[in-house]
């Protein structure tokens, strides 16, 4: 039997974030072949109206009473979702089901709530598809954009902000027309290393733009197709399932390390870029969201052998016993050992850069959490040791995506996290410092919407010292979402001290 629940849903999380989405979702009592269901399990097929779809086998419980210390009021409810791959999520939420969509959101057929598992790369791809469909690829074309709402934030010139950038590729339409984004206050772009083109880089340089590459360090999941042994191993001795679909690769796999270093070298040898940023340089986890999934990895035999060699701490032959010791009695030593491995990757990246293209900068896009957030997960689970990496990194691009992380009503969180990073790394934003902080801030919707009128405020908080540069996530989304491109242009021009 198949039951269809169809409507438009507005979900308001009680941390202040909210979203409105349109979708067709089908709940089925019977799963597809070979997907046996038990108890309160159900099989859900979600079909987004952009053509994408998702199938998940799940147990979901709606309860009137929240856990201890979680008082509920009004139409609030507590939801516990347990995916049958072992992951789970608990959220305190107010949810409104309405038959009618907001203005300009006509409903057709059966529409329901959107899944919240879209990755950062998928968000970019979806926006690219939308731009192609609407023909909105012109760079900051004021004639095609709706007038932005008035904002209360006034931006004055910020001479300490040396870089005003965008992330998400070459602005093809503008470059082809001979116009320069520099006129809009933009002086740098970030492009994925797989999308670099020598002719476009030269054209950008001629127009006064710096071109920085983004390099995928630990998320090149295609490698696993021919090398399944490179999958990160959980404490049960099995490959760790990809949390929220995010598939990492083991830093202990020698073949994968060689693959990434060879590709890093090729990019630097081939393209005359101004710098290169490490991206996804962390352990297997899904953290770019308000409700992260942070599995403990990597308990592969190579890692366990190296741990004993490095620390002198013997481990039992039984993996389950060994993992319990590493996550218990020896947790601090295990954490430092894993951090040191990821830092050594950064050292090797730096050595290659110095040998192939000395003089350009090495940056990193990294998790915005402070050391104490999520019980120290930036080190314990993600294996990111920023002070240690600072020996090799020039630019730290913290990723305080305020809407994505549940702070859409508190964009000041961006400045708080940036300040905390400066304290951690002893970076103040003074001209004589060699290490710099250039945050990448969220302007485009990524499931959670970012109001257009919030853009000046976001960029205000994103460029407060110790930050001396900024870039925005992401170009395609900004161009697609009405009013945002014009506000970005005006804000960057105001920071630069030019007329709009």
pLDDT tens-place string over residues 415-437 = 999 999 999 999 999 999 999 99
Residue 6 confidence (pLDDT): 37
- The residues with which 473 forms a beta bridge, in sequence order, are 167, 442
Higher pLDDT, 368 or 103: 368
**Is residue 478 within 8 Å of 472, Cβ to Cβ?**
yes
**Same domain for 202 and 153:** yes
Buried b (16+ CB within 10 A) or exposed e, 101-124: beeeeeeeeebbbbbbbbbbeebb
Residue 111 confidence (pLDDT): 31
Terminal CA-CA length for the chain = 60
Q: Band the pLDDT of 94: cuts 50, 70, 90.
A: very low
Q: Which of 137-146, 428-437, 461-470 is predicted least confidently?
A: 137-146
Q: What is the pLDDT of residues 34-78, one digit of tens each?
A: 444 444 455 555 544 444 455 555 554 444 444 444 444 444 455
Q: What is the mean pLDDT of the chain?
A: 81
Show which of 66, 88, 115 is a domain's final residue: 115
Q: Phi/psi class of residue 462: alpha, beta or left (left: φ > 0; alpha: ψ in -120 to 50)?
A: alpha
Average pLDDT over residues 288-296: 97
Show which of 115, 135, 151 is a domain's final residue: 115
Average pLDDT over residues 455-468: 98
Q: Band the pLDDT of 142: cuts 50, 70, 90.
A: very low
> 22 — phi, psi (to 5°)?
-120, 130
**Same domain for 352 and 259:** yes
**Same domain for 475 and 443:** yes
For residue 253, the domain's CATH number is 3.20.20.80
**Same domain for 86 and 160:** no
Residue 157 confidence (pLDDT): 97
Q: What is the pLDDT of residues 184-229, one digit of tens each?
A: 999 999 999 999 999 999 999 999 999 999 999 999 999 999 999 9
**Same domain for 320 and 354:** yes
Q: Band the pLDDT of 493: cuts 50, 70, 90.
A: very high
Buried b (16+ CB within 10 A) or exposed e, 9-29: bbbbbebebbbbbbbbbbebe
**Same domain for 235 and 281:** yes
Residue 143 confidence (pLDDT): 35
Q: Give the global pTM.
A: 0.76
Alpha-carbon distance 31 to 368, whole Å? 39
Is residue 11 scored above 90 in pLDDT? no
| Residue bearing tokens 């952009």 | 50
**Same domain for 34 and 166:** no
Domain range holding 325?
Answer: 121-496
**Same domain for 127 and 101:** no
Count how many domains the chain has.
2
Alpha-carbon distance 453 to 411, whole Å? 12
Show which of 115, 143, 164 is a domain's final residue: 115
Query: How many other C-beta atoms are found inside a 10 Å radius of the C-beta of residue 326?
Result: 23
Average pLDDT over residues 100-106: 39
**Same domain for 381 and 402:** yes
Is residue 253 scored above 80 in pLDDT? yes
| Helix or strand (DSSP H, E) at 310 | helix 301-311
**Is residue 311 within 8 Å of 246, Cβ to Cβ?**
no
**Is residue 471 within 8 Å of 166, Cβ to Cβ?**
yes
Q: What is the pLDDT of residues 111-138, one digit of tens each?
A: 323 334 566 766 666 565 555 444 444 4
Q: Band the pLDDT of 106: cuts 50, 70, 90.
A: very low
Sign of CA dihedral 451, 453, 457, 460: positive
What does the block give as tokens for 374?
Answer: 């999520």
């Amino acid at each position: 039997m198949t039951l269809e629940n169809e409507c438009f849903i507005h979900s308001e999380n009680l941390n202040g974030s909210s979203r409105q989405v349109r979708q067709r979702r089908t709940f089925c009592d019977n799963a597809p072949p070979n997907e046996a269901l038990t108890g309160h399990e159900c099989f859900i097929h979600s079909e987004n109206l952009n053509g994408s779809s998702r199938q998940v086998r799940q147990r979901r419980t709606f309860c009137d009473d929240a856990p201890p210390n979680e008082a509920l009021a009004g139409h609030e409810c507590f939801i516990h979702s347990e995916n049958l791959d072992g992951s789970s999520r608990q959220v305190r939420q107010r949810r409104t089901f309405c038959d009618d969509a907001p203005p300009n959101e006509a409903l057709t057929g059966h529409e329901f709530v959107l899944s919240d598992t879209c990755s950062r790369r998928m968000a970019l791809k979806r926006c690219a598809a939308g731009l192609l469909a609407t023909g909105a690829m012109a760079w900051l074309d004021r004639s095609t954009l709706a007038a932005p709402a008035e904002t209360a934030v006034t931006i004055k010139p910020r001479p300490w902000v040396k870089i005003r950038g965008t992330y998400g590729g070459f602005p093809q339409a503008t470059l082809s027309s001979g116009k320069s984004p520099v006129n809009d206050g933009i002086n740098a772009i970030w492009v994925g290393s797989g999308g670099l083109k020598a002719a476009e880089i030269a054209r950008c340089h001629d127009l006064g733009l710096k071109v920085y590459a983004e390099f995928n360090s630990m998320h090149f999941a295609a490698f696993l197709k021919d090398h399944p042994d490179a999958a990160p191993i959980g404490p049960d001795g099995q490959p760790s399932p990809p949390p929220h679909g995010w598939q990492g690769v083991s830093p202990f796999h020698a073949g994968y390390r060689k693959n990434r270093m060879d590709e890093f070298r090729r990019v630097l040898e081939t393209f005359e870029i101004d710098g290169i940023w490490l991206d996804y340089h962390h352990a297997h986890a899904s953290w770019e969201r308000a409700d992260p999934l942070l599995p403990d990895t990597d308990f592969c035999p190579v890692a366990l052998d190296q741990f004993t060699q490095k620390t002198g701490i013997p481990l039992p032959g039984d993996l389950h016993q060994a993992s319990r010791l590493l996550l218990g009695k020896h947790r601090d030593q295990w954490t430092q050992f894993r951090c040191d491995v990821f830092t050594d990757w950064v050292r090797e990246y730096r050595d290659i850069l110095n040998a192939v293209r000395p003089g350009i900068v090495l940056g990193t896009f990294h998790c915005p959490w402070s050391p104490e957030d999520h019980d120290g997960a930036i080190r314990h689970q993600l294996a990111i040791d920023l002070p240690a990496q600072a020996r090799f990194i020039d630019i730290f691009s913290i990723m305080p995506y305020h809407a994505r992380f549940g702070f859409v009503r508190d964009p000041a969180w961006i400045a708080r996290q940036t300040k905390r990073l400066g304290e951690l790394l002893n970076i103040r934003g003074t001209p004589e410092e060699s290490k710099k902080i250039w945050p990448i801030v969220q302007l485009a919707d990524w499931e959670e919407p970012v109001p257009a009128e919030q853009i000046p405020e976001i960029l205000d908080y994103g460029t407060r010292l110790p930050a001396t540069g900024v870039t925005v996530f992401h170009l395609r989304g900004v161009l697609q979402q009405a009013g945002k491109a014009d506000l970005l242009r005006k804000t960057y021009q105001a920071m630069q001290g030019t007329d709009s």
